[in-house]
């Protein structure tokens, strides 16, 4: 049985965005059963957990003695098992892998820089200047992504693990109207979010947050 780690609770601004959503979604697309080990901040620095995830983050995956960490690596591990996430032909598979890395390396860092300033450093003296730089860089990457997508439904000729990963990245800046500058990116994100597997994964992630919410 595949087991994932996930947080039992996170603040409202992070709910629905925690990276265990990515392998949950992949597993739902693949139709593979899994169970979840919920952890809290008290678990992250323990030697036991650091043996699974050296940085104390989520998710980590355990399966038949195999331990993986990093959401991209886990999603690719799952995607290799199913044509739902990886085309059968070699070129299509390599293109899907390429888009996984593009989401993580080309797009996500720029969006995270902007989000980090807004959510964690807005009151700092240096924040306004750096925010202008961060927004410029995020806009540049999103414009290039929009140019590539054009009027396609997906990044290639069908939904793949690359679309799964890119969609989770495009969901990050929900505190600002950043993505709305590109109607095709908004439509693309919504198209992917409408997939039943995504809805099941999101519901599964959100359920523990409601159950373990701190008392008011």
Q: Which of left, alpha, beta for 64 (phi over 0: left; psi -120 to 50: alpha)?
A: left
Residue 127 lies in a domain: yes
Residue 216 lies in a domain: no
Looking at the fold, whether 178 and 203 belong to one and the same domain comes out as no
CATH (domain of 186): 1.20.1050.10
Residue 141 lies in a domain: yes
pLDDT at position 190, please?
Answer: 98
191 close to 132: Cβ distance less than 8 angstroms = no
Place of tokens 């860092």: 109
Q: Which residues contact 100 (CB under 8 A, 6 or more apart)?
A: 72, 75, 76, 161, 162, 165
Looking at the fold, whether 33 and 100 belong to one and the same domain comes out as no
Looking at the fold, whether 77 and 22 belong to one and the same domain comes out as yes
Residue ranges making up the domain that contains 10: 2-83+197-211
Residue 107 lies in a domain: yes
pLDDT at position 127, please?
Answer: 92
pLDDT at position 39, please?
Answer: 98
Looking at the fold, whether 185 and 201 belong to one and the same domain comes out as no
For the chain, list residues with pLDDT below 70. none
Looking at the fold, whether 36 and 103 belong to one and the same domain comes out as no
pTM of structure: 0.97
pLDDT at position 215, please?
Answer: 83
Looking at the fold, whether 109 and 182 belong to one and the same domain comes out as yes
pLDDT at position 188, please?
Answer: 98
CATH (domain of 70): 3.40.30.10
Residue 67 to residues 6, 23, 59, 156, Cα–Cα distance (Å): 15, 14, 11, 31
59 close to 71: Cβ distance less than 8 angstroms = yes
Looking at the fold, whether 190 and 203 belong to one and the same domain comes out as no
Looking at the fold, whether 59 and 150 belong to one and the same domain comes out as no
- Among 109, 107, 108, 117, CA closest to 175: 117
Q: How far apart are CA 201 and CA 78, in angstroms?
A: 14
Q: Total structural domains in the chain?
A: 2
């Amino acid at each position: 049985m595949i087991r994932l780690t996930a947080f039992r609770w996170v603040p409202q601004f992070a709910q629905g965005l925690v990276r265990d959503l990515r392998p949950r979604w992949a597993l739902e697309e693949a139709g593979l059963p899994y169970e979840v080990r919920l952890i809290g901040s008290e678990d992250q620095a323990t030697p036991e957990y650091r043996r699974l995830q050296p940085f104390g983050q989520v998710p980590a995956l355990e399966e038949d003695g195999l331990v993986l960490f990093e959401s991209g690596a886990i999603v690719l591990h799952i995607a290799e098992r199913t044509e739902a996430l990886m085309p059968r032909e070699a070129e299509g598979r390599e293109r899907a892998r390429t888009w996984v890395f593009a989401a993580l390396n080309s797009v996500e860092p720029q969006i995270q820089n902007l989000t980090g300033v807004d959510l964690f450093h807005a009151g700092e003296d240096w924040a306004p200047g750096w925010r202008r730089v961060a927004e410029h860089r995020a806009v540049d990457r999103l414009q290039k992504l929009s140019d590539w997508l054009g009027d396609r439904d997906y990044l290639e000729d069908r939904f793949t693990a690359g679309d799964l990963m890119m969609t989770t990245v495009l969901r990050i800046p929900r505190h600002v109207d950043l993505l709305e500058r590109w109607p095709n990116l908004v439509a693309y994100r919504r198209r992917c979010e409408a997939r039943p597997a995504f809805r099941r994964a999101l519901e599964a992630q959100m359920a523990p947050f409601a159950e373990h919410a701190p008392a008011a």
